[in-house]
Amino acid sequence: NNHCSSADAAIVIEQWQQVSSPDAAAQTKLTGGRAVFKKLFEMAPGAKALFTRVNVDNFESPEFNGHIMRVMGGLDVLVNYLEDTATLDSLLAHLASQHAVRAGVTKGAFELMAKVLMGGLPKVVENFNPDAWANCIVPILNGMSAGL
Ligand code: HEM
């Protein structure tokens, strides 16, 4: 099986609400997403060039804010579909094809993203459960980078 257990999924979905509840969502996702990309570019400076179209050089620009929110919105949908693996697979296949067409996007970058998320999420999620999150996040990132 390519997905985390439904027990792990339930924990992750429940804990993710701390980040994505309607009253917290817009700001937590934007600042959290910004922190994720900042860390990603520190660890892999070359990856920054992939995001010139979305104005990465102006990190707080409307264009890069928009990019961050597309990514975080995507992650939000994936997490909320962890227990419906057929739909999750369909979502992942779609995201995989959207990433496969972007020259320079590598599987390594997704592995790095998994590390960055696992390092950052405990800062915004109380009682963060590292096992459940690792079990669920790694297959998601693998699925999204399947075509790379
Ligand atoms: C674009 C999701 C990780 C590279 C996008 C888009 C979404 C998305 C929803 C917009 C697609 C569109 O409108 O065409 C995600 C999620 C990720 C993730 C949920 C992991 C949690 C990554 C990683 C890389 C990457 C690790 C490589 C460093 C890109 C690029 C674009 C993109 C280059 C196109 C930016 C543009 O619009 O010019 N991603 N992504 N993504 N993603 Fe990802």
Render pLDDT for 37-77 as a digit per residue (tens, 0 to 9): 999 999 999 999 999 999 999 999 999 999 999 999 999 99
Distance 114 CA to ligand 1 centre (A): 14
User: Is 1 inside a domain boundary?
Assistant: no
What single-letter amino acid sits at 17?
Q
How many domains would you assign to the chain? 1
CATH number at residue 125: 1.10.490.10
Could you read off the pLDDT of 4-45 as tens digits, one per residue? Answer: 999 999 999 999 998 888 777 777 889 999 999 999 999 999
Span 102-106, mean pLDDT? 93
Atom 35 of ligand 1, residue of closest alpha carbon: 51
Distance 57 CA to ligand 1 centre (A): 16
User: Is 50 inside a domain boundary?
Assistant: yes
Cα–Cα distance measured from residue 107 to residue 45, given in angstroms and rounded to the nearest whole number: 16
The token pair that represents 55 in the structure block? 């104005």
Span 91-100, mean pLDDT? 96
H runs (alpha helix) in the chain: 6-20, 22-43, 62-80, 85-100, 107-124, 130-144
Of the candidates 48, 84, 82, 81, the residue with the CA atom closest to the CA atom of residue 67: 48
Is the minimum distance from the CB of 109 to ligand 1 under 6 angstroms? yes
Range of the domain at 70: 6-144
